[in-house]
Amino acid sequence: MDISRVDHIGIAVKNLDETLKFYEDVLGIKCEGTEVVEDQKVKVAFLPVGETELELLESTCEDGPIAKFIEKNGGRNGLQHIAVRVDDIEKAIEEVKEKGYRMIDEKPRYGAGGAKIAFCHPKSTHGILLELSQRD
């Protein structure tokens, strides 16, 4: 598997607009756009920092994965996942499985920003939700 860099860091937030004010006004990191990913029940804001992005994630419904994460996190915002850039996501998924580790996604799916993504199961990654991300 060829991992070229950390693609992004996903941060679950209760209120995207309020959180963006801090990142933009205090840290000076400008949002380069937002996107709603309907099948993941999430609204995403992209904040580039060098070659990596911070990805702020707000749930679009009460039963979405981000809403559930925040609830489990005591109602607080928090680090939700880390994504690494791979050159061939199908190959990367197979390598993870061949080495005996679990995937949440057996096949790539559509992610924010036009990426192909697949999540490794946190029980196989020592508690970290790790996303494999391929951008063409």
d(CA 136, CA 122): 26
So what's the pLDDT on residue 136? 84
So what's the pLDDT on residue 17? 96
d(CA 125, CA 82): 11
- Interval 98-110 mean pLDDT: 96
| The two three-digit tokens of residue 133, written as one number | 């991300």
Q: What tens digit of pLDDT does each residue of 30-74 get?
A: 999 999 999 999 999 999 999 999 999 999 999 999 999 999 999
So what's the pLDDT on residue 48? 97
d(CA 25, CA 2): 36
What band does 130 get if pLDDT is binned at 50, 70 and 90?
A: very high
* pTM of the predicted protein model: 0.93
Helix (H) or strand (E) holding 131: strand 130-134
So what's the pLDDT on residue 102? 96
Relative to beta strand 78-86, strand 130-134 is parallel
Helix (H) or strand (E) holding 7: strand 3-13
So what's the pLDDT on residue 115? 94
Could you tell me how many helices (H) and strands (E) the chain has, helices first?
A: 3, 8
Architecture category of domain 3-134 in CATH: Roll (3.10)
So what's the pLDDT on residue 5? 95
Provide the residue count of the chain: 136
